[in-house]
Chains A and B, each alone.
Chain A
Amino acid sequence: MTKDEKVQQLRREIERWSRRPPSRSPQMARRAVLTRLDERSPGRRWGLGWAAAAAVVVAALGLGILTSRSQLRLDQPVRTASLDPMPRAAEGMVVYQLESGATLYVPLAGAAPRLQGTGADKSVKGERR
Protein backbone atom coordinates (compact mmCIF):
# COMPACT_ATOMS: atom_id res chain seq x y z
CA MET A 1 0.00 0.00 0.00
CA THR A 2 1.42 3.40 -0.99
CA LYS A 3 1.71 6.28 1.43
CA ASP A 4 -1.14 8.18 -0.24
CA GLU A 5 -3.38 5.13 -0.10
CA LYS A 6 -2.58 4.79 3.57
CA VAL A 7 -3.43 8.44 4.17
CA GLN A 8 -6.76 8.02 2.35
CA GLN A 9 -7.46 4.93 4.39
CA LEU A 10 -6.69 6.89 7.54
CA ARG A 11 -9.18 9.52 6.42
CA ARG A 12 -11.91 6.93 5.96
CA GLU A 13 -11.01 5.36 9.29
CA ILE A 14 -11.24 8.68 11.15
CA GLU A 15 -14.59 9.41 9.50
CA ARG A 16 -15.97 5.96 10.35
CA TRP A 17 -14.68 6.20 13.89
CA SER A 18 -16.08 9.68 14.57
CA ARG A 19 -19.47 8.67 13.14
CA ARG A 20 -19.94 5.72 15.48
CA PRO A 21 -23.22 6.01 17.42
CA PRO A 22 -22.70 7.92 20.68
CA SER A 23 -22.94 5.89 23.88
CA ARG A 24 -25.82 8.13 24.99
CA SER A 25 -28.80 7.96 22.68
CA PRO A 26 -30.40 11.24 21.47
CA GLN A 27 -33.28 10.58 23.86
CA MET A 28 -30.91 10.18 26.82
CA ALA A 29 -29.11 13.37 25.79
CA ARG A 30 -32.43 15.17 25.58
CA ARG A 31 -33.37 14.13 29.11
CA ALA A 32 -29.93 15.05 30.46
CA VAL A 33 -30.00 18.51 28.85
CA LEU A 34 -33.57 19.29 29.82
CA THR A 35 -32.95 18.47 33.46
CA ARG A 36 -30.15 21.03 33.42
CA LEU A 37 -32.30 23.80 32.06
CA ASP A 38 -33.97 26.21 34.35
CA GLU A 39 -37.48 26.15 32.94
CA ARG A 40 -38.31 29.50 34.43
CA SER A 41 -35.48 31.25 32.60
CA PRO A 42 -35.73 30.41 28.93
CA GLY A 43 -33.87 32.18 26.15
CA ARG A 44 -34.53 35.87 26.00
CA ARG A 45 -35.66 36.03 29.63
CA TRP A 46 -32.06 35.41 30.66
CA GLY A 47 -31.04 38.60 28.92
CA LEU A 48 -33.95 40.51 30.38
CA GLY A 49 -33.13 39.08 33.80
CA TRP A 50 -29.55 40.32 33.59
CA ALA A 51 -30.74 43.74 32.43
CA ALA A 52 -33.20 43.92 35.33
CA ALA A 53 -30.50 42.89 37.80
CA ALA A 54 -28.13 45.53 36.42
CA ALA A 55 -30.87 48.18 36.71
CA VAL A 56 -31.47 47.22 40.34
CA VAL A 57 -27.76 47.46 41.13
CA VAL A 58 -27.50 50.89 39.46
CA ALA A 59 -30.60 52.10 41.32
CA ALA A 60 -29.22 50.82 44.63
CA LEU A 61 -25.89 52.56 44.02
CA GLY A 62 -27.68 55.78 43.11
CA LEU A 63 -29.84 55.57 46.22
CA GLY A 64 -26.76 54.91 48.33
CA ILE A 65 -25.00 57.98 46.93
CA LEU A 66 -28.06 60.15 47.55
CA THR A 67 -28.39 58.79 51.08
CA SER A 68 -24.75 59.41 51.89
CA ARG A 69 -25.06 62.93 50.53
CA SER A 70 -28.17 63.63 52.54
CA GLN A 71 -26.34 62.53 55.67
CA LEU A 72 -23.77 65.24 55.05
CA ARG A 73 -26.26 68.05 54.62
CA LEU A 74 -25.39 70.99 56.81
CA ASP A 75 -28.95 71.75 57.76
CA GLN A 76 -28.86 68.66 59.93
CA PRO A 77 -26.97 68.45 63.25
CA VAL A 78 -23.24 67.88 62.85
CA ARG A 79 -21.51 66.24 65.79
CA THR A 80 -18.12 67.72 66.23
CA ALA A 81 -15.15 66.53 68.20
CA SER A 82 -14.07 70.06 69.03
CA LEU A 83 -16.75 72.03 70.86
CA ASP A 84 -15.81 75.32 69.33
CA PRO A 85 -15.30 75.91 65.68
CA MET A 86 -11.83 77.00 64.69
CA PRO A 87 -12.34 80.25 62.82
CA ARG A 88 -9.98 80.96 60.02
CA ALA A 89 -11.15 84.41 59.27
CA ALA A 90 -8.07 85.13 57.26
CA GLU A 91 -8.93 82.28 54.96
CA GLY A 92 -12.61 83.23 54.92
CA MET A 93 -13.93 80.03 56.49
CA VAL A 94 -14.77 78.17 59.71
CA VAL A 95 -13.24 74.73 60.23
CA TYR A 96 -14.85 71.91 62.23
CA GLN A 97 -13.02 68.75 63.26
CA LEU A 98 -15.60 65.94 63.10
CA GLU A 99 -15.72 62.80 65.27
CA SER A 100 -15.17 60.68 62.19
CA GLY A 101 -11.79 62.30 61.75
CA ALA A 102 -12.88 64.31 58.74
CA THR A 103 -12.54 68.07 58.57
CA LEU A 104 -15.48 70.24 57.55
CA TYR A 105 -14.65 73.56 55.89
CA VAL A 106 -17.50 76.07 55.86
CA PRO A 107 -16.71 79.19 53.86
CA LEU A 108 -18.01 82.39 55.42
CA ALA A 109 -19.62 83.39 52.17
CA GLY A 110 -20.12 82.12 48.70
CA ALA A 111 -18.86 78.63 47.95
CA ALA A 112 -20.41 75.41 49.22
CA PRO A 113 -19.00 73.70 52.30
CA ARG A 114 -16.71 70.74 51.75
CA LEU A 115 -15.39 67.78 53.70
CA GLN A 116 -11.89 66.39 53.69
CA GLY A 117 -10.33 63.37 55.33
CA THR A 118 -11.67 59.99 56.40
CA GLY A 119 -15.01 59.10 54.83
CA ALA A 120 -15.24 62.48 53.15
CA ASP A 121 -14.17 61.97 49.60
CA LYS A 122 -17.11 63.91 48.23
CA SER A 123 -17.68 67.63 48.48
CA VAL A 124 -20.70 68.57 50.51
CA LYS A 125 -23.61 70.47 49.15
CA GLY A 126 -25.85 71.93 51.78
CA GLU A 127 -27.81 74.93 52.79
CA ARG A 128 -26.07 77.57 54.80
CA ARG A 129 -27.76 78.43 58.06
Chain B
Amino acid sequence: MTASVLTVAFSEQRTSELEALVLRARGGDTEAYGDLVERTWSDLVALARGMLGGDAEAEDLVQEALVHAWKRLWMLRQPEKVEAWLRRIVARRCLSWARRRRPQELPPETAGSASDPAAGLDAARLLQTLAPRQRAVLYLTWIEGCTDKEAGGILGIRPATIRVHRFRGMQILRRLVREQ
Protein backbone atom coordinates (compact mmCIF):
# COMPACT_ATOMS: atom_id res chain seq x y z
CA MET B 1 0.00 0.00 0.00
CA THR B 2 2.71 2.42 1.08
CA ALA B 3 4.84 1.41 -1.88
CA SER B 4 2.04 2.07 -4.37
CA VAL B 5 1.31 5.47 -2.79
CA LEU B 6 4.99 6.34 -3.08
CA THR B 7 5.06 5.18 -6.71
CA VAL B 8 2.09 7.38 -7.60
CA ALA B 9 3.62 10.35 -5.78
CA PHE B 10 6.94 9.85 -7.55
CA SER B 11 5.19 9.57 -10.91
CA GLU B 12 3.20 12.77 -10.30
CA GLN B 13 6.33 14.61 -9.25
CA ARG B 14 8.16 13.43 -12.37
CA THR B 15 5.23 14.52 -14.56
CA SER B 16 5.16 18.00 -13.07
CA GLU B 17 8.94 18.34 -13.38
CA LEU B 18 8.86 17.32 -17.03
CA GLU B 19 5.98 19.74 -17.65
CA ALA B 20 8.04 22.56 -16.15
CA LEU B 21 10.96 21.65 -18.41
CA VAL B 22 8.68 21.72 -21.47
CA LEU B 23 7.37 25.17 -20.56
CA ARG B 24 10.90 26.51 -20.14
CA ALA B 25 12.06 24.85 -23.36
CA ARG B 26 9.18 26.42 -25.25
CA GLY B 27 10.48 29.78 -24.17
CA GLY B 28 13.75 28.99 -25.93
CA ASP B 29 15.65 27.49 -22.98
CA THR B 30 17.78 24.81 -24.61
CA GLU B 31 19.27 23.76 -21.28
CA ALA B 32 15.78 22.84 -20.09
CA TYR B 33 15.32 20.77 -23.22
CA GLY B 34 18.68 19.14 -22.50
CA ASP B 35 17.40 18.16 -19.06
CA LEU B 36 14.31 16.69 -20.70
CA VAL B 37 16.50 14.68 -23.06
CA GLU B 38 18.58 13.35 -20.17
CA ARG B 39 15.54 12.26 -18.20
CA THR B 40 13.74 10.49 -21.04
CA TRP B 41 16.70 9.08 -22.99
CA SER B 42 16.95 5.60 -21.47
CA ASP B 43 13.22 4.88 -21.68
CA LEU B 44 13.04 6.04 -25.29
CA VAL B 45 16.05 3.95 -26.30
CA ALA B 46 14.49 0.88 -24.66
CA LEU B 47 11.30 1.51 -26.63
CA ALA B 48 13.23 1.90 -29.89
CA ARG B 49 15.25 -1.26 -29.25
CA GLY B 50 12.14 -3.28 -28.61
CA MET B 51 10.40 -1.92 -31.68
CA LEU B 52 13.38 -2.44 -33.97
CA GLY B 53 14.44 -5.79 -32.55
CA GLY B 54 18.03 -4.58 -32.38
CA ASP B 55 20.04 -1.68 -31.11
CA ALA B 56 22.26 -0.79 -34.03
CA GLU B 57 20.04 2.10 -35.08
CA ALA B 58 17.92 2.64 -31.97
CA GLU B 59 20.00 5.38 -30.39
CA ASP B 60 20.45 7.27 -33.67
CA LEU B 61 16.72 7.15 -34.30
CA VAL B 62 15.89 8.38 -30.81
CA GLN B 63 18.39 11.22 -31.18
CA GLU B 64 16.81 12.24 -34.48
CA ALA B 65 13.37 12.03 -32.91
CA LEU B 66 14.42 14.32 -30.08
CA VAL B 67 15.77 16.92 -32.51
CA HIS B 68 12.52 16.66 -34.47
CA ALA B 69 10.50 17.01 -31.26
CA TRP B 70 12.31 20.23 -30.34
CA LYS B 71 11.15 21.83 -33.57
CA ARG B 72 7.57 20.75 -32.89
CA LEU B 73 7.49 21.49 -29.17
CA TRP B 74 5.15 24.42 -29.65
CA MET B 75 2.56 21.99 -31.09
CA LEU B 76 2.34 19.95 -27.86
CA ARG B 77 -1.05 20.84 -26.42
CA GLN B 78 -0.67 19.13 -23.05
CA PRO B 79 2.86 19.67 -21.71
CA GLU B 80 2.18 17.30 -18.82
CA LYS B 81 1.94 14.47 -21.37
CA VAL B 82 5.32 15.12 -22.93
CA GLU B 83 6.58 11.59 -22.22
CA ALA B 84 3.69 9.97 -24.09
CA TRP B 85 4.17 12.47 -26.90
CA LEU B 86 7.87 11.67 -27.21
CA ARG B 87 7.15 7.94 -27.14
CA ARG B 88 4.66 8.42 -29.97
CA ILE B 89 7.22 10.29 -32.06
CA VAL B 90 9.91 7.66 -31.43
CA ALA B 91 7.53 4.76 -32.05
CA ARG B 92 6.32 6.14 -35.37
CA ARG B 93 9.85 6.88 -36.52
CA CYS B 94 10.93 3.35 -35.62
CA LEU B 95 7.97 1.84 -37.43
CA SER B 96 8.59 3.95 -40.50
CA TRP B 97 12.30 3.08 -40.50
CA ALA B 98 11.65 -0.65 -40.00
CA ARG B 99 9.23 -0.68 -42.93
CA ARG B 100 11.75 0.91 -45.26
CA ARG B 101 14.52 -1.45 -44.21
CA ARG B 102 14.60 -4.60 -46.29
CA PRO B 103 14.97 -7.92 -44.42
CA GLN B 104 18.34 -8.74 -45.99
CA GLU B 105 19.72 -5.49 -44.60
CA LEU B 106 19.27 -6.59 -41.00
CA PRO B 107 22.46 -5.99 -39.06
CA PRO B 108 23.79 -9.42 -38.09
CA GLU B 109 25.39 -8.20 -34.88
CA THR B 110 22.02 -7.37 -33.34
CA ALA B 111 21.16 -11.00 -33.10
CA GLY B 112 22.98 -12.80 -30.36
CA SER B 113 23.39 -9.67 -28.26
CA ALA B 114 20.50 -10.84 -26.15
CA SER B 115 21.09 -14.53 -26.22
CA ASP B 116 20.30 -16.51 -23.15
CA PRO B 117 22.32 -19.70 -23.47
CA ALA B 118 20.68 -21.30 -20.48
CA ALA B 119 17.24 -21.09 -21.98
CA GLY B 120 18.34 -21.37 -25.58
CA LEU B 121 16.35 -18.20 -26.35
CA ASP B 122 17.60 -15.32 -28.42
CA ALA B 123 15.26 -12.38 -27.91
CA ALA B 124 16.72 -10.19 -30.65
CA ARG B 125 16.73 -12.93 -33.26
CA LEU B 126 13.18 -13.98 -32.44
CA LEU B 127 11.96 -10.39 -32.58
CA GLN B 128 13.65 -9.94 -35.95
CA THR B 129 11.52 -12.69 -37.43
CA LEU B 130 8.37 -10.61 -36.88
CA ALA B 131 6.97 -8.02 -39.24
CA PRO B 132 7.65 -4.44 -38.04
CA ARG B 133 4.07 -3.84 -36.92
CA GLN B 134 3.79 -7.18 -35.16
CA ARG B 135 7.03 -6.45 -33.32
CA ALA B 136 5.89 -2.95 -32.39
CA VAL B 137 2.51 -4.14 -31.15
CA LEU B 138 3.98 -7.05 -29.19
CA TYR B 139 6.58 -4.83 -27.58
CA LEU B 140 4.12 -2.14 -26.58
CA THR B 141 1.36 -4.41 -25.27
CA TRP B 142 3.27 -7.48 -24.07
CA ILE B 143 6.43 -5.92 -22.66
CA GLU B 144 5.49 -2.31 -21.88
CA GLY B 145 1.98 -3.19 -20.73
CA CYS B 146 0.14 -0.65 -22.91
CA THR B 147 -3.58 -1.20 -23.45
CA ASP B 148 -4.74 -1.81 -27.01
CA LYS B 149 -6.09 1.73 -27.11
CA GLU B 150 -2.81 3.22 -25.89
CA ALA B 151 -0.77 1.17 -28.36
CA GLY B 152 -3.19 2.15 -31.12
CA GLY B 153 -2.73 5.81 -30.21
CA ILE B 154 1.05 5.49 -30.34
CA LEU B 155 1.15 3.61 -33.63
CA GLY B 156 -1.79 5.36 -35.25
CA ILE B 157 -3.85 2.22 -35.83
CA ARG B 158 -7.17 0.94 -34.48
CA PRO B 159 -7.32 -1.25 -31.34
CA ALA B 160 -8.91 -4.07 -33.38
CA THR B 161 -5.90 -4.06 -35.69
CA ILE B 162 -3.62 -4.10 -32.64
CA ARG B 163 -5.31 -7.32 -31.51
CA VAL B 164 -4.82 -8.92 -34.92
CA HIS B 165 -1.10 -8.04 -35.03
CA ARG B 166 -0.59 -9.28 -31.47
CA PHE B 167 -2.36 -12.56 -32.17
CA ARG B 168 -0.30 -13.23 -35.29
CA GLY B 169 2.92 -12.16 -33.64
CA MET B 170 2.33 -14.46 -30.69
CA GLN B 171 1.53 -17.33 -33.03
CA ILE B 172 4.90 -16.88 -34.73
CA LEU B 173 6.79 -16.55 -31.45
CA ARG B 174 5.15 -19.67 -29.97
CA ARG B 175 6.04 -21.65 -33.06
CA LEU B 176 9.65 -20.45 -32.99
CA VAL B 177 10.00 -21.13 -29.26
CA ARG B 178 8.66 -24.65 -29.78
CA GLU B 179 11.21 -25.24 -32.53
CA GLN B 180 14.14 -24.03 -30.43
A17 near B114 with CB under 8 A, answer: yes
Chain A residues with CB under 8 A of B29: 42
Q: B127 — which chain A residues lie within 8 A by C-beta?
A: 14
B28 touches A10 (CB 8 A): no
Q: Is the CB of A44 within 8 A of B177?
A: no
B29-46, CB < 8 A from A: 29-30, 33-35, 37-39, 41-42, 45-46
Q: How many residues of B contact A (CB 8 A)?
A: 50
Number of interface residues of A (CB under 8 A): 36
**Of A31-39, A71-79, A113-121, which stretch is located at the interface?**
A31-39
Of B37, B58, B170, the contact of A26 (CB 8 Å cutoff)? B37
- B126 CB to closest chain A CB (Å) equals 6
Q: Does B50 contact A (CB under 8 A)?
A: yes
Interface, chain B (partner A; CB < 8 A): 25-30, 33-35, 37-39, 41-42, 45-47, 49-50, 55, 58-59, 62-63, 66-67, 70-75, 113-114, 116, 119, 121, 123-124, 126-127, 139, 142-143, 170, 173-174, 177-178, 180
